[in-house]
Structure 1
Amino acid sequence: MSATSPRFRRYVAVGDSQTEGLGDGDEATGWRGWADRLAETIAQQEPDLLYANLAVRGRLAGQVRAEQLAPALALQPDLVSVVAGMNDLMRPGVDTAAVTADLEAMFVAFTATGARVLTFTFPDIGRIAPPARALRPRVLDLNARIRAAAERHGVVVVDFFPRAATTDPRMWSADRLHASPLGHARIAAAAAEALPLPGSDSGWAEPLPPLAPVGLPRRAVQEAAWIGSFLGPWLLRRVRGRSSGDGRTAKRPDLRPVTAPQPVR
């Protein structure tokens, strides 16, 4: 590692299902995800790296702040990733200013300790899931607020929204809410470039080979299937006041050594 490269010894990830790793693994074998992959990348240069992942699926930004901020600070990280807000955007009447206030409070708390803080903007959800295109103005608004808050506090931002590759369907799992293994791998690579880590580059943003065109009838069937299989159950949980994270706890609440990097699937 060169003298100008960052050295991280204690990495803590906070957030929701994307940081927990949903879409990259399963309940039987465990969830890997971009944060685990980033930790593995860092460990190639820093074998003594310790890593904790406090993220829990379904959490709103305010819940991430209330439940994960204090435990994360207690672990005294020198690198923290803070990614939350998409669950808020999907709820009626979301207050993006309040979401940003929760994110910014975490930026302030972590940067005050001297830790490097990493965050993301969100991709164009309307291109990933056309039935959800009405959420695009909210995504634009929150992204602008995240960029501004990050600039105020020296937080590293990976700006996913302008990158066409982030809306490629192969980057997303069947539910279109969580990244696929390929998507998680590219998110980790984007984070590595932003930090920046040795050997990282912008290859993560390169477009994938073109897909064969899909006709309108088949596309309509696909959208209907997605609504019935994923959007419908999600809305039903909201009506019932339930969350996918009910009863869940962090998968890796303590700092532990990172195992050898696994091959990209």
Structure 2
Amino acid sequence: MCADSLLPSSGRRVFVALGDSFTEGVGDRDERLPNGVRGWADRVAEKLAKAEPGWRYANLAIRSKRLRQIIGEQLEPALAMRPTLVTLYAGGNDILDLGTDMAALMEDYEKLVASLAGTGATLVLFTGFDVKVSALLEPLKKRNTVYNQGVREIAAKYGAVLVDYWCLDAFHDRRMWDSDRLHMSKAGHKYLAGQVLDQLGVPHKIKPKEWDPPARPSLREWERRQRRWVNDWVLPLFGRKIRGITLGDALSPRWPEPVTVPRKGGLKKIVGEQPAQARPT
């Protein structure tokens, strides 16, 4: 590790990632890996192993999970792993739910952070980004502001590392987002991995994507994109809400137990070495 790294230079090295789709890796597709995604947390784990061998990694995050579910399903397993590095993003799905009590949400969030901080592990927290999805969601901006301010205060109170996602201007480019406009694209996940590694003082060679300025779509093209987005993402989302189901209901954590990350070949090497019937799905 670098001289100014916030991580242990010797002894146990266990990285545990908690949260929802943001941390699971949705938007960064890779059918060779569990749940068909990779994500920034996998990329961080691989860079940690390259910088210092011996890192073990677990990712308990599952898409669509609310804060109460993350507390109920992920906290105890994470504590049992005796982590030395923990990342947490939780609450984003709650913000999108009608009737969410923000004061109660932030109270529960702080209790979760306090439990994780009590392990003595380096703890990384994230603010939420102001995703410009639709004017219909603009009323939620106030909730996002309350959430972000609360996360900043809690991070300072518990000595956590803060990745202030809200302030990352690179994400104003729509190409950093997947086609659903809510999850990062592969380029977005790679960029965020670099930001996390920078905050931790871990060397890496991840560079921001260099794009030409985006072409301004014609009115017809803009309308076509809007219709496709509504049909492919918005209507199915409301349909699931009406039925009371989520995309994460049938999924398991991608890396439910800590795996030793190879310095060469990364996590794909682990999957490739497993018998087909033993591979996570």
TM-score (structure 2 length as normaliser): 0.85
Q: Partner of 2:21 in structure 1?
A: 17
CA contact (8 A) 1:41 1:261 kept: no
Larger radius of gyration: 2
The code of the aligned residue for 2:247 comes to: S
1:243 to 231, 242, 246: 246
Using the TM superposition, name which of 31-40 and 92-101 deviates more.
92-101
> Residue in 2 aligned with 1:122?
128
Percent identical: 37
C-alpha distance in structure 2 between counterparts of 1:27 and 1:132, whole Å: 31
Between stretches 22-31 and 189-198, larger displacement belongs to 22-31
- After superposition, the Cα gap between the structure-2 partners of 1:182 and 1:227, relative to the gap in structure 1 and judged at 3 Å, is same
**For the residues of structure 1 that align with 2:133 and 2:46, how far apart are their CA atoms?**
28
Match of 1:143 in 2: 148
Aligned 1:147-226 pairs, distance under 5 A:
147-199=152-204, 204=208, 208-226=211-229
The aligned counterpart of 2:278 is none
Question: 8 Å contact 1:192–1:200 — kept in the other structure?
Answer: no
CA distance in 2 between counterparts of 1:135 and 1:102 reads 20
| Deviation, structure 1 residue 26 | 4.4
**What's the CA shift string for 1:52-88, capped at 9, x where partnerless?**
0011111001110111011000000010000111111
1:257 — aligned with what? 260
CA contact (8 A) 1:12 1:51 kept: yes
CA distance in 1: counterparts of 2:236 and 2:199, whole angstroms = 36
Residues 45-84 of structure 1: pairs in structure 2 closer than 5 A: 45-84=51-90
Question: 1:28: how far off?
Answer: 5.9
Aligned residues: 259
Which residue identity is paired with 2:112? M
Q: Quick one: structure 1 residues 135 and 85, their matched pair in 2 at CA, closer, same or farther if it must change by over 3 Å? A: same
Deviations 1:158-185 (A, max 9, x none): 1121222113111111111221111110
Length-normalised TM-score, structure 1: 0.90
Contact 1:193 1:200 in 2 (8 A): no
2:5 counterpart letter in structure 1:
S
Letter in 2 for 1:198: P
**C-alpha contact (below 8 Å) 1:19/1:34 kept by paired residues:** yes
Once residues 265 and 136 of structure 2 are traced to their aligned partners in structure 1, the CA distance between those partners, rounded to angstroms, is 37
RMSD: 2.1
1:212 Cα deviation after fit: 0.8
Unpaired runs of 5+ in structure 2? 267-281
- Cα offsets for 1:142-168 (capped at 9, x unmatched): 111111111111111111212221131
